[in-house]
A and B are shown apart, each in its own frame.
Chain A
């Protein structure tokens, strides 16, 4: 019985802690995500969402606690974990000096997508994010929104067991957002790919997610279906429920690398 439950959980988190100095960005969280689920990870800015995702994806070492991704521990078995997931990052991660196509091609080779499928999917995805005409343009000529779209196309190029989406739809127009979710739902439905996403758009979480967890100040303060969260807080919408649970105060957020860079960029030619 125990083994069966284990097999069904594709993400398992137990007493996970991440400290930066004295500050606990993630403070003793535990939860599971089931295979094939679409799971929303919500929380105000600076609540610990991105830090958690970074630990899942082997980019940060946890201070303590245990994570299992597809049955593997990111600390002791990073290579196995890395071949289980795909990710769309919150902040940019494209190579500006390469073209849109080259960025996708690079990704496809890294993830060992066979050439035939790779080329087919690249065309398909560029169409979805409406960049097929800019296929051979250098990324540095792209606007912020275009880069975002390209990044999403890249994240969906290979079909892993789990896909992490860290605020994937931030700054996208409703049309692209719609296309994108259509594609993700399709992937989830047809190939049983588990989707783990964070977002600030509550209606997105309400509509797409089978289950939701809300994190605040590094702790998970609620989880369950959207319906359950709404009922428990006696709210009308998920947004109301979210505000009731996390309060109305605006949060501080730690500086991202790109913000740190802004003050420094001047010295380079």
Chain B
């Protein structure tokens, strides 16, 4: 388990200002937990754009192929049935299922990828850094590499208006 410091803000405006101030001192904020989405937070933290859309594309492509190929196999090889004289390999009748499977796989792959990546969802161990972050406070986490940094970071946090500063190891 690595060492880190947590602190919280009462207000999202203060949080954004605090992060800016910390950044100017060369202190990287590792993560922030907020009760609601804060605009401009990912920019302030320097996060890259989420890659979830790629997961959706790959999941959707797999789902579409699965749906189409499965039907093609069922209706031509496994269990060919004659529906009103239509050909066995009847592409128009495959489209709705292919479409639904695309949507289903894309949605599920996104949800599962998001759960795994964010460490939430069923079975995940949740770490509560500070009880107040489960209510209405804006909690931020700063990782500590060396023990000498602790004092310096705590001082910088206090100067940036953060409350409830705690060192955790």
The yes or no verdict on A and B being binding partners is no
A-contacting residues of B (Cβ < 8 Å)? none
B-contacting residues of A (Cβ < 8 Å)? none
